[in-house]
Amino acid sequence: MKRSVVVAVFACMCVLFGAGAALAAEFTMKVGHVVPESYPHHIAAVEYLKPYIERESGGRIAVELFPNSQLGGDRQLCEAVQIGSLEMAFPSTTILAGFVPELGLLDLPFLFATRDDVYKVVDINGPVGSVLARKAREQGIYLLGYADLGFMNLTNSARPITTPEDAKGIKIRVMENPVYIDTAMALGCSPITMAFGEVYTALQQKVIDGQEHSINVVKNMKFEEVQDYLSLTREAYSTISIIASEAFMDSLPADLQDVVKKGVELFCKEQGRINSEQEAANLAYLKEKGMKVNELTPEQRALFVEATKDVREKHARREGRQELYEQVLALLK
């Protein structure tokens, strides 16, 4: 489908969905994302983002939430925000990197050991996070913050993964992304790309041996029904980007811009809390259902870090990102 047709269809959808917006509001902020209502970022949007912005704006901004891909997939949402036909979206940062290449650094394997490491780097006011936000603005996108999906971990039906040697020969579904493909190959896996909606059936039918995703996604997709092992490899930290259109933000007076930014800040804080709580509960649930869960010792993790060193160096050099990568490493020391 041509881009112009996609945009036209998207605009019509927004008009139809937005027909019931409060007539008293000066501004309407439609927010689109791809996950169901049970996910932390939708819960946080309902409980914190929407009420905060509507209350603190004195009703001048009406917030409308569209979960579950009602307004399209992540790439369509990014395009819509970029051209100004959608006010706000929560796309995967991995997908947003297709529009803001510097964000691809956040996908590098075994770069982050802890969640604190991640947020030290992406802090909007920090030395690296501010650069990422500026690069997004150059593409017509306000990058206002990040929400959590969590560390990507490996599940499979063959054996626990404690060293790179254990991963050799395992057929693993990966995203259609050069970093993830190269990482799987560096660990000796056989990477297979496929649509995420096909993964459960592929695991069930033994077309693939395993997949990688966050604990919450493993539970929500019921992968414990078709996978025996969950290895907490924490190879990459998956985030959601909170983006707003330049047209929308620039149309707001300064006081309402501040309300939106503070609303996003509150949203990100509470979404992180909800995500962590769900993750702890879901890990316990997966264990109860019989998944064999193993952690990596620091010594074991060091083996994975070393095995993927060339992948990090290769992709850090892409599209002039080496200098920014060096700044990331300096922050993580």
| Cα 12 from Cα 16, distance rounded (Å) | 6
Locate all alpha helices (DSSP H) within the chain, ordered by sequence.
3-17, 40-44, 50-56, 74-83, 93-96, 115-122, 129-137, 164-167, 178-186, 199-204, 215-220, 246-251, 254-288, 298-307, 309-316, 322-332
Contact between residue 56 and residue 259 where contact means Cβ atoms under 8 Å apart: yes
Find where tokens 């264990």 sit. 287
Instruction: Return mean pLDDT, the chain.
Output: 93
The residue whose two tokens read 């991995």 is: 94
Q: How far apart are CA 173 and CA 207, in angstroms?
A: 10
* CATH 3.40.190.170 domain extents, the chain: 3-148+239-280, 153-236+288-327
Amino acid identity, position 100: V
Class of 3-148+239-280 in CATH? alpha beta
Which residue type occupies 199?
Answer: V
pTM: 0.89
Closest CA to 35 of 76, 73, 5: 73
Backbone angles phi, psi at 289, to 5 degrees: -80, 0
Confidence check: pLDDT of 144 > 60: yes
Task: Indicate the CATH number of 153-236+288-327 among 3.40.50.720, 1.10.10.10, 1.10.287.3510, 3.40.190.170.
Answer: 3.40.190.170
- pLDDT confidence tier of residue 22, bands split at 50, 70 and 90: very low
pLDDT digits (tens, 9 = 90+) for 169-204: 999 999 889 999 999 999 999 999 998 889 999 999
**Per-residue pLDDT tens over the stretch 227-247:** 999 999 999 999 999 999 999
